[in-house]
Amino acid sequence: MTQGTRRGDAGSGTTRRGFLGMTGAAAAGAGLLPFLKVLPVQAGASDTAVVVIGGTINSLDLHRTGTNRPSYEVAVNCYDRLVSFGTKTLPDGSLSYDYSQIVPELAESWDIAEDSITFHLKPAARFWDGTPVTAEDVRWSFERAVTVGGFPTVQMKAGLLEKPEQFEAVDEKTFKLHLLRPSKLTLPDLAVPVPFVINSKLAKAHATAKDPWAMDYLHKTTAGSGAFKVVRWDPGQQLVYERNDDWAGGPLPGLKRVIIREVPNPSNRRALLERGDVQVSFGMPDKDAQELARSGKVQVSSTPIENCINCVGLNYKFEPFRDSNVRKAVACAIPYQAIFETAAYGQGTPMWGGKPEIDSIAWPRPFPYDTDLDKAKEHMAKSGFASGFEVPFSISLGIDWMEPTALLIQESLAKIGIKTTIDKIPGANWRTASLVEKRLPLHLENFGGWLNYPCYYFYWTYEKGHLFNSSNYDNPEIETLVGETLDMQTSNPAYAPKIKRLFEIAIDDLPRIPLWQPALNVGTNGVSGYEYWFHRVPDVRGLKRS
């Protein structure tokens, strides 16, 4: 039996106040930024905080097809999972989730057998409408996740959560998960945002024959038991959370309400934070993080994102990139150091210039390529495209590091006969073009694996047809190695040699050329309790006003 506590005491808020309508939080900011006029007037109150983000929340339902990354925060803050990860303090004093510790959320304890895991739900756990959270709600929610298809279903599959018959409601408060086979990923996969528990009775009441999983209803309405409720959503503008005072999943949050404001312009987000008009700027550009940290005006946390790499994608469906020498020429032509200084402002960890020999299974790892135009030209001369070629170079307008990176690479590739035209794709269309349709020949990409193992990174980015394999890469040996290592315990003597072989293939085949491991930058002004999470969306449950 395993049990524990989720996180430390977050404190409590003050008397509830009305929070909708009237004018902006700060008169000084309203003139400069007209949108502040629709901010709740009590944004500066001791029980309220405002968080600004650069992206757009496009759905309240993570399981819905087309739901984007910024929307994942709703699953984190409004819904519970059976379990979560613990919390640890980093060397710089900031907080981070602890991947090594699985702790209770809806489940107060669990029993692990060879062929099953049995979870005992907290008796006090209730949905917002007052009805108890039952094992049937868990069963229905899990069946939904493995049935709707797309990203949620593939994410569940990573933990061997694949078939509806694996999920059993033994009684009202006992849920049994039948294992296909033992895997190191099963328990951690229950702690990621996807397997959240929905009020199934409420969802079914809004389901139809054409929409058996109530996708339309849950797209606009939350139905959870989590720490916060969504009380207002103005798409493209703001999301307003109000605390669930009966939350049983962890200590009561320190804030009664949190307003998530969508502010696309990073300069505006920075100005709002510096003036104290908002309390959190989430996902700041590296330049702002570097400058604000040096100024000391606000608190800045820059945390390397585990299992995450910013990279160049070479699409195997584009004929020149089927040529190994062309791919290696590109890898040798990239001006890595200049990119790191110009686009990343030195934030993060370089992923180039690594040792040729693979002596560990540490990941991410620097690939053994560096800027060498002479070697790049040699590879081009040996390729079937010695006279060069033209290719569009696609970037997202919604990702700040991409344009300066692309411009530097464009200049360098021209020196070896590869002419590129920068193709700027609106952020709202980027995921479809790069990941769903996988139609971009040369592009920049970023992926961070939620489960912190190299085999899990390869599962998503190197396996044929998987969402983040934007390069259309297909290698049967990769498929075999990933299949063999995904479930395998790291202590198994066969694990390390197989992982090293994965590295060897990736370094030689180069469907993705690593640039650097990025950092997640979060600025705070007037709140404490920020905690870094692998999913890279705001978890506001631990925040409290300073």
Structural domains of the chain in order of their starting residue, each with its CATH number: 27-283+522-545 (3.40.190.10), 308-517 (3.10.105.10)
Extract the tokens encoding 95.
């907080």
| Residue 4 reports pLDDT greater than 60 | no
Residue from 243, 242, 220 nearest 231 by CA: 242
Instruction: Please give the single-letter amino acid code of residue 254.
Output: G
Look at the block and give the residue holding tokens 């040529």: 323
In whole numbers, what is the pLDDT of the chain averaged over residues? Answer: 91
3-class SS of residue 30:
helix
State phi, psi for 163 to the nearest 5 degrees: -120, 140
Q: Is 27 exposed, middle or buried (0-12, 13-18, 19+ CB in 10 A)?
A: exposed
Distance (Å, whole) CA 228 – CA 34: 28
Distance (Å, whole) CA 296 – CA 282: 17
Using pLDDT thresholds of 50, 70 and 90, give the confidence band for residue 398: confident
C-alpha separations of 446 from 302, 306, 430, 534 in Å: 17, 12, 12, 14
| Residue 12 reports pLDDT greater than 70 | no
What pLDDT sits at residue 92? 87
| Residue 5 reports pLDDT greater than 90 | no
Tell me the average pLDDT across 524-528. 97
Q: Residue ranges of the alpha helices (H) in 235-358?
A: 266-275, 286-295, 324-333, 336-342
Give yes or no for a contact between 50 and 281, defined as CB atoms under 8 angstroms apart: no
Tell me the average pLDDT across 208-237. 97
**Number of C-beta neighbours around residue 312 at 10 A:** 24
DSSP letter assigned to residue 131:
P
Using pLDDT thresholds of 50, 70 and 90, give the confidence band for residue 30: very low
Instruction: Look up the pTM and report it.
Output: 0.86
Q: Where are the beta strands (DSSP E) in 371-502?
A: 389-396, 418-425, 442-448
291 CA to centre of own chain? 25
Extract the tokens encoding 209.
């024959």
| Residue 98 reports pLDDT greater than 60 | yes
